[in-house]
Amino acid sequence: FAVGVTSVDCTASNATETATASFAVAVVDEKPPVISSMPKNQQAEASGPTGATVVYSQPVATDNVDGSDPVTCEPESGATFSLGKTVVTCTATDVAGNSASKTFQVTVKDTTPPTITSLPEGGTVEATGPGGALVAYSEPTATDVVDGTVPTTCGPPSGSVFPLGKTTVKCSAGDSSGNTAKASFTVTVRDTSPPTISHVPEPIATTATHASGAKVTYSQPTATDLVDEAVTVRCSPKSGATFATGTTQVTCSATDRAGNVAMASFEITVLSE
């Protein structure tokens, strides 16, 4: 009997008469299609602020009457799925109007950290005082595939006083999903400036007091340094030494802790008796 209503006619006859009767047989399709080859739950990495394009294999549906039926899924394969979890519902309907549905889940996540760009190269800075030097640098920038531009934080911050030696500046940038990018550069503060010697005596002239010359006393020069502040000055020959007849050059030097040397000199002349 075909799908639908079929009339069955019955006839009975004797020698003189014939009788008839009938009844109806209805064949109905109440079984929905069977959906198979359903995609498994899957994850995708976000590729932009709107989420990610997700492609999945299309399920199929078979029916005991129709043979095969089309399957429609929503959202469809190749659509853009937003961040988070999305339930994809696939439905097949046969000619009789029976429907079957199955679902799977697509999760779009953001695990990609921002990208830090325009990172300063670092370099070397001259010390300007005992504490080091004030260092200013351009702030780096950071971009994220989902959030776009995100702020960066660096420490020590630009405009801080950096101590003598090498300092690593550490920068970080985070997105709204909690992913963090890190980068760093190095600033070296060095002391290459020599001390400054002051109060160097003017040339001195004196008369010999004995055959070997004369004992000469002079005021000791002083020295200051940007980093070390007070620095010892050493002169040769020393004050109070015996200077021979003639002109002697007194050489004074001052060395700071970084090994920078400053030099100065003056003359002492001892005249014959």
- Per-residue pLDDT at 64: 93
**Which two tokens mark 227?**
């980093």
Residues 145/149/152/158 CA torsion (nearest 10 deg): 140
pLDDT digits (tens, 9 = 90+) for 35-94: 999 999 999 999 999 999 999 999 999 999 999 999 999 999 999 999 999 999 999 999
pLDDT digits (tens, 9 = 90+) for 141-176: 999 999 999 999 999 999 999 999 999 999 999 999
pTM, rounded to two decimals: 0.74
Mean pLDDT for 107-136 is 96
Closest CA to 171 of 159, 181, 162, 160: 181
- Looking only at Cα atoms, what is the longest distance across the chain? 186
pLDDT digits (tens, 9 = 90+) for 201-240: 999 999 999 999 999 999 999 999 999 978 999 999 999 9
- As a whole number of angstroms, the distance between CA 89 and CA 133 comes to 64
- As a whole number of angstroms, the distance between CA 273 and CA 42 comes to 109
Better pLDDT: 8 or 261: 261
